[in-house]
Amino acid sequence: MRNYLIIPVYLVGKIGCQLAGHRFVTTRSVTQYFKEYRCKNCGLELTNDETGKKISLTPTHREINETLSQFYQKRQNAG
């Protein structure tokens, strides 16, 4: 009988990211400067902070981005 190593799919993406780095795609453009990103391999979600650095997308940051997006849309429609 052969022994096979069964690796869950979510671990394959994480191992690939550890070896080769993340492959981020833009999932949402909040404003011209603020965007949300997701890794194609492991599903890690990031966003920009006020200095432009990428930080983890927590529920608090998601709520901030939603409020900022609504404010930005109202401002664009008013002008």
Give 39-69 pLDDT, tens digit per residue: 998 899 999 988 989 999 999 999 999 999 9
Question: Is pTM, for the whole model, over 0.85?
Answer: no
- 45 phi and psi angles, rounded to 5 deg: -110, 135
* Cα distance between residue 32 and residue 75, in whole Å: 13
Average pLDDT, the chain: 84
pLDDT attached to residue 4: 56
State percent of the chain over pLDDT 90. 51
Pairing type for strands 54-56 and 35-39 reads: unpaired
pLDDT attached to residue 18: 79
pLDDT attached to residue 36: 96
